[in-house]
């Protein structure tokens, strides 16, 4: 769980996902999420199903409660926690997706995070689990403490590259439950 001995810094705002930092926790255990519908970053029906099932299968067995927010809030103190988008704007060529904080709550926690994943087959259970992991503070192996290989199987869906159907590993769940 970020911050670790191998990944410090502070949680900060990034307007549109271009800075490459994925370092924040979410601001509480009640996670409200929204999936863009209509517009440039809309998730199509199969992608929406993947996100819903992934949250049920991987995150329901953790301390995080998940709520779909059909009336998302984009300003003020209680913003919708995670906004899922499909698109490729500001995703580096070596990545399938990006997660960023739009409104830091304090140095460690973010009020609203965006997850953007490429279209055309990239919205997989594994990649959506991975980016959701970043949104709640999980790290890659290289940033973990102790440091692990990027492909250590204990990282579950936080391995890079991220295989199609990987889910949270036991240590991911322990980290989440120790934090929230
Ligand atoms: Zn990642």
Architecture of the domain whose range is 25-179: 3-Layer(aba) Sandwich (3.40)
Distance from Cα 125 to the centre of ligand 1, integer Å: 14
Which pLDDT belongs to residue 129? Answer: 98
Distance from the alpha carbon of residue 98 to the mean position of ligand 1, in angstroms = 7
Each residue's pLDDT tens digit, 126-148 = 999 999 999 999 999 999 999 99
Rounded distance from Cα 38 to ligand 1 centre (Å): 26
pLDDT band with cut points at 50, 70 and 90 for residue 110: very high
- Report the separation in Å between the CA atom of 85 and the middle of ligand 1, taken as the mean of its atom positions: 16
pLDDT digits (tens, 9 = 90+) for 146-172: 999 999 999 999 999 999 999 999 999
pLDDT at 107: 96
pLDDT tens, residue by residue, 29-74: 999 999 999 999 999 999 999 999 999 999 999 999 999 999 999 9
HEC-encoded secondary structure of the chain: CCCECCECCCCCCCCCCCCCCCCCEECCCEEEEEECCCCCCCCCHHHHHHHHHHHHHHHCCCCCEEEECCCCCCCCCCCCCEEEEECCCCCCCCCCEEEEEEEECCCCEEEEEEEEECCCCCCCHHHHHHHHHHHCCCCCHHHCCCCCCCCCHHHHHHCCCCCCCCCCCHHHHHHHHHHC
What separation in Å is there between the alpha carbon of 136 and the centre of ligand 1? 12
State the pLDDT at residue 35: 98
Which pLDDT does position 81 carry in this prediction? 98
The confidence score (pLDDT) of residue 18 equals 77
User: Which of the four pLDDT bands, split at 50, 70 and 90, describes residue 17?
Assistant: confident
Q: Is the pTM of this model over 0.75?
A: yes
Q: How far is CA 169 from the centre of its chain?
A: 15
Distance CA 176, CA 13 (A): 22
Write down the pLDDT at residue 21: 73
> Binning pLDDT at 50, 70 and 90, where does residue 109 land?
very high
Query: How much is the pLDDT for 73?
Result: 97
Distance between Cα 115 and ligand 1 center (Å): 11
CA of 134 to the centre of ligand 1 (A): 7
CA of 130 to the centre of ligand 1 (A): 6
For residue 19, pLDDT over 80 is answered with: no
Tell me the CA–centroid distance for residue 1 and ligand 1, in Å. Answer: 13
Q: Which residues contact 145 (CB under 8 A, 6 or more apart)?
A: 4, 5, 6
d(CA 147, CA 86): 31
* Domain map (residue ranges) of the chain: 25-179
The answer to whether residues 48 and 54 touch, using CB atoms and an 8 Å cutoff, is no
């Amino acid at each position: 769980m970020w911050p670790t001995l191998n990944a410090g810094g502070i949680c900060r705002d990034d307007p549109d996902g271009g800075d490459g930092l994925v370092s924040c926790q979410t601001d509480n255990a009640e996670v409200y999420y929204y999936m863009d519908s209509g517009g440039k970053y809309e998730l199509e029906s199969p992608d929406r199903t993947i996100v819903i099932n992934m949250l049920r299968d991987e995150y329901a067995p953790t301390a995080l409660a998940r709520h779909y927010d059909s009336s998302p809030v984009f300003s003020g103190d209680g913003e919708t926690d995670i906004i899922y988008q499909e698109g490729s704007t500001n995703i580096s060529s070596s990545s399938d997706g990006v997660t960023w904080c739009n409104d830091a709550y304090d140095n460690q926690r973010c009020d609203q995070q965006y997850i953007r994943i490429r279209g055309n087959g990239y919205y997989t259970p594994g990649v959506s689990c991975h980016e959701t992991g970043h949104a709640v503070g999980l790290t890659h192996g290289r940033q973990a403490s102790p440091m692990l290989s990027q492909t250590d199987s204990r990282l579950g869906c936080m391995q890079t590259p991220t295989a199609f159907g990987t889910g949270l590993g036991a240590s991911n769940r322990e980290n989440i439950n120790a934090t929230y």
